[in-house]
Amino acid sequence: MKKVKLKVPATVANLVCGFDILGMAVHDPYDEMEFKLLDTPEIIIKHQDAFGLPEKASENVAGIVLLKIQEHLNLSHGFEVIIRKHIKPGSGLGSSAASAAGAAFGANLLLKNILSKDEMVHFAMFGEELASGVRHADNIAPCLYGGITLVKSADPVDIIPLNAPQLFVAAVHPQVEVKTSDSRQILKKNISLKSAVEQWGNIAGLIAGIQKNDFSLIGRSLHDVIIEPVRSILIPKFDEIKLKSLEMGALGGGISGSGPSVFMLTEQKETAEKISQMMKSVYDSTGIESFVYVSKINPSGIQIVEEAYP
Ligand code: HSE
């Protein structure tokens, strides 16, 4: 029986100023996914976690991706997938992208690498669409490519993998609900030319800083004049956490994806650890439960843990 086991990482979308176009893979948290290739055409999804997600293939983020791949390739095979999710749905840490990208990656391995990475991104976006109503690739791309990625275009898919600087990421997930669909709904539909010019400067500066390993330039570019001022009101203690993190030596940071998680980039692991403790204590003092994660930028994305092709 052909089977594979994967570790599928969380991702931080937007990277502050790059709404829907930039994203970065981290090591922690991650989901575990096990795939078997079936001789029959069923798509069987089993969740071994506590999130109560639908298991019917057409209603499951991984399931819909497998159905689309199966249909596109006219496969007589099916798949069984066991998912142990540790990235909480609705965290802003790319939980749906992990299921979607993991499904495309796992199926592709079992099908002897029949798909290119950009084709995997294309199919994985059906999972994002099911989860939030929008086909965005800024979490899927870093999950599949690793490191930091630029979505030059989502349709047609054109992903540019960028450098993965040796930086640390401190992230906090406060236990408040922010749905991606809601936090997209509240965004302004029109922006001023002045804001656009400022944002272009920051995005270009951030990409240049990433490619040149210029940490000061990365820090100076991690500013968002369009999305963060609107969305941050949905995240309790956002301003306090950001200010304290910068005072403690973070290069910069902001909302992870559509929130409510908040992330900060640092040069030193100790700084990231201290910031994560501060993040936790800010939420503890307000009675909001939170989870914190510290890891390096993950340069390789999805990891194959086990493969068997007898
Ligand atoms: N770019 C998306 C957004 C990411 O900010 O809505 C959602 O995880």
Q: pLDDT category, 28, cuts 50, 70, 90?
A: very high
Between the CA of residue 127 and those of 101, 123, 163, 288, what are the distances in Å?
8, 8, 27, 30
Per the annotation, the verdict on 307 as an active-site residue is: no
The verdict on the CB of residue 184 being under 6 Å from ligand 1 is yes
pLDDT of residue 178: 86
Q: Is the CB of 258 under 6 A from ligand 1?
A: yes
- Ligand 1 center to residue 111 CA distance, Å? 30
What letter does residue 229 receive in the DSSP assignment? H
Q: Which atom of ligand 1 is nearest the CA belonging to 184?
A: 6
Residues 25 and 220: their CA atoms lie apart, in Å, by 21
Query: Helix-strand-coil percent breakdown of the chain, rounded to 5?
Result: 40, 25, 35
Q: Is the peptide bond before 29 cis (omega within 30 degrees of 0)?
A: yes
| Residue 161 pLDDT greater than 90, yes or no | yes
Which residue is catalytic, options 11, 128, 228, 266?
128
Work out the pLDDT band at 310, boundaries 50, 70, 90: low
pLDDT tens column, 51-68 = 999 999 999 999 999 999
A 10 A CB-CB count for 202 gives: 20
Separation CA 78–CA 251 (nearest Å): 46
Nearest to 61 by CA among 75, 37, 43: 43
Average pLDDT (97-120) is: 97
Q: Of all protein residues, whose CA lies closest to atom 8 belonging to ligand 1?
A: 257
pLDDT above 90 coverage of the chain, percent: 94
| pLDDT for 180 | 84
Centre of ligand 1 from the C-alpha of residue 130, in Å: 14
Of 57-61, 175-179, 209-213, where does mean pLDDT reach its minimum? 175-179
pLDDT at 179 > cutoff 90: no
Taking residue 268's Cβ as centre, other Cβ atoms within 10 Å add up to 11
Q: How confident is the model at residue 182 (pLDDT cuts 50, 70, 90)?
A: confident
Lowest-pLDDT range, 26-35, 63-72, 182-191?
182-191
The answer, yes or no, to whether the previous bond of 260 is cis (omega within 30 of 0) is: yes
Q: 61-73 and 117-132 helices cross at what angle (nearest 10)?
A: 130
- Give pLDDT, residue 33: 98
What is the pLDDT averaged over residues 236-251?
98
Burial of 119 per CB tally in 10 Å (0-12, 13-18, 19+): middle
- Which two tokens mark 260? 């409510």
**Ligand 1 pocket: which of 258, 261, 263 to mutate (most atoms within 8 A of CB):** 258
- Report pLDDT for 110: 96
Report the greatest alpha carbon distance in the chain. 60
DSSP conformation letters of 102-144:
HHHHHHHHHTTS-S-HHHHHHHHHHHHHHHHS----TTHHHHH
Active site includes 129? no
Which residues on neighbouring strands pair with residue 297, listed in sequence order? 26
Would you give the distance in Å from CA 23 to the centre of its chain? 7
Query: Residue 60 is encoded by which pair of tokens?
Result: 């499951």
